[in-house]
Chain A
Amino acid sequence: MLARGFSDPVHDAQGVFRAVMDALARPGTLQPLAATLEPPAPLTPELAAIALALADADAALWLDEALRHDPAVADFLRFHTGARIADAPSEAAFALVSDAAACPDFAAFAQGTPAYPDRSATLVLAVCDLSDVEGWRLDGPGIRESARLAAAPLPADMLARLARNHAGFPQGIDLILAAPGRLAALPRSTRVQEG
């Protein structure tokens, strides 16, 4: 049987959006996200909530290999969002990545163009651990002096990837890191350095 969507579609979606908006506006802060969904595994409740809040027929989703493995995940997302599940990562507005350590290279996703840098993907990575008291040092718009962020699991070369992504500003991808019950974001405008 198909798992249910938001119990209150209007206000649940607004709550998820505001958490994502606050996370992007203040990189390095942890925003609470009470995701009550019970989507088919390995789709996490947080990834599902972000997809249901923001994806639709105008904003295609891309699923990583782990999420594509069980067709129930795509069925769930298609039914509740109406979004197309893109075959190629470059066609997606949002990429859902449940196996964050195996996230494809950022260059595979839409980067926007010099004239339209907004035509770029947002990657949503499921992580287990998320902390704002240790880890990388962040600075840039939205950050008062500096902030810290640690997340796991992530690809081994994550720092180099984030540096390349930031160097391409204003083009690039934006990153949402979603752990159980909370999320943080790293927009392309954030400079990330070793802690």
Chain B
Amino acid sequence: MNAATGYNFAYLDEGTKRMIRRAILKAIAIPGYQVPFASREMPMPYGWGTGGVQVTAAILGRADVLKVIDQGSDDTTNAVSIRAFFARTADVAVTTRTREATVIQTRHRIPEAPLSEGQVLVYQVPIPEPLRFLEPRETETRQLHALAEYGLMHVKLYEDIARHGHIATTYAYPVEVAGRYVMDPSPTPKFDNPKMDDCPALQLFGAGREKRIYAVPPHTRVRSLDFEDHPFRVQSFDRPCALCGAEGVYLDEVLLDDAGGRMFVCSDTDHCEERRADGHVGTGGMEAAHV
């Protein structure tokens, strides 16, 4: 019996799960296309991952091992509460280790450790429509997708270049999926975009407030939009992680005091912990040991 009694397995009723499951199947068959679904009220406010939670609840089985990250971290409020939610309502095993998880729900990061076949990455999505800030009418954006008319998006990226000298979009950077639909990868840093391409894991996206589900099947081409003379480039950091010394990973800035002290550490806490357990130490590693 579940620890939280009175609820169905994984909180949602079976009718809702079937509806979400049917939406997921169509989303997989039409990569990058946003499937409307009848998003439910969840016991958490919009913006806290109601879409991702519903997708996770619909796919989760007893044998799954769930990991939840919030900006790469397993330890922040959103991640802790969603992990506890499923531990209570579905009684599934939970983990913070990327390699051990079968289902990873994420709010805006893709783990640094390469994902594997058989894993499912579930994204929490605030605004699924990549064209929404360019065209507010749903009737119009739907038509634009139907016609594969994405000129607006290229104009937006061009205006970035005209104004800033480079494409200034750094997160929710639009991608083209399998050569057809332009998709919002959710507000992940563009640093993570290349990980979506040819990813061995299945990627599912749930937007609760906006009532949309979309998907990228494994080994699918995901191309970040760019121009020949302004190719897509990811952020780079001029120093390694202060705790584990990792290079080529996404870093968070952490303020240490009110005198301008700061350090840059791995955004992916599991990756950082694993490296430190293996004996890697960064320049700030010693200080961190007694914080």
Chain A contacts to B: CB under 8 angstroms: 9-11, 13-15, 17-18, 20-22, 24-26, 53-56, 58-59, 93, 113-118, 120, 122, 140-144, 169-170, 174, 187-189
9 contacts between A and B (CB under 8 A): A10-B8, A13-B17, A21-B21, A22-B202, A25-B215, A55-B18, A142-B217, A142-B218, A144-B219
- Min CB gap A62→B, angstroms: 15
Contact of B202 among A25, A118, A169, A174 (CB under 8 A): A25
Q: Is B178 an interface residue (CB 8 A)?
A: yes
In the complex the two chains form, is B21's CB within 8 Å of A141's CB?
no
**A-B CB contacts (within 8 Å), total count:** 113
Q: Is B61 an interface residue (CB 8 A)?
A: yes
Which residues from A are CB-within-8-Å of B14? 9-10, 13
In the complex the two chains form, is B180's CB within 8 Å of A169's CB?
yes
* B contacts with A, residue count (CB < 8 A): 45
Chain B contacts to A: CB under 8 angstroms: 8-9, 14-15, 17-19, 21-31, 33, 35-36, 58-62, 142-143, 145-147, 177-178, 180-181, 198, 200, 202, 215-221
Which residues from A are CB-within-8-Å of B36? 116, 118
The winner among B18, B180, B216, B218 for most chain A CB atoms within 10 A is B18
Beyond A25-B218, A54-B21, A169-B180, whether A174 also contacts B29 by CB under 8 A is: yes
- Docked Cα-Cα span, A14 to B91, in Å, equals 15
- Docked Cα-Cα span, A144 to B33, in Å, equals 21
Which residues from B are CB-within-8-Å of A22? 202
Which residues from A are CB-within-8-Å of B143? 115
In the complex the two chains form, is A118's CB within 8 Å of B33's CB?
yes
- Docked Cα-Cα span, A12 to B166, in Å, equals 52
- Docked Cα-Cα span, A113 to B147, in Å, equals 12
In the complex the two chains form, is A21's CB within 8 Å of B15's CB?
no
Contact of A11 among B23, B62, B178 (CB under 8 A): B62
The winner among B23, B181, B202 for most chain A CB atoms within 10 A is B202
For the residues of B in contact with A, the DSSP-based class is: mixed
- Docked Cα-Cα span, A55 to B25, in Å, equals 13
In the complex the two chains form, is A11's CB within 8 Å of B61's CB?
yes
Closest 6 CB pairs of A and B: A142-B217, A187-B29, A114-B146, A118-B26, A141-B220, A144-B219
| Nearest residue, chain B, Cβ from A173 | B29
- Docked Cα-Cα span, A130 to B36, in Å, equals 33
Which residues from B are CB-within-8-Å of A113? 146
Additional 12 contacts, C-beta under 8 A, given A21-B28, A114-B147, A141-B216: A11-B62, A14-B60, A21-B24, A24-B25, A24-B217, A26-B218, A54-B25, A58-B19, A59-B22, A118-B36, A141-B220, A144-B218
Which residues from B are CB-within-8-Å of A58? 18-19
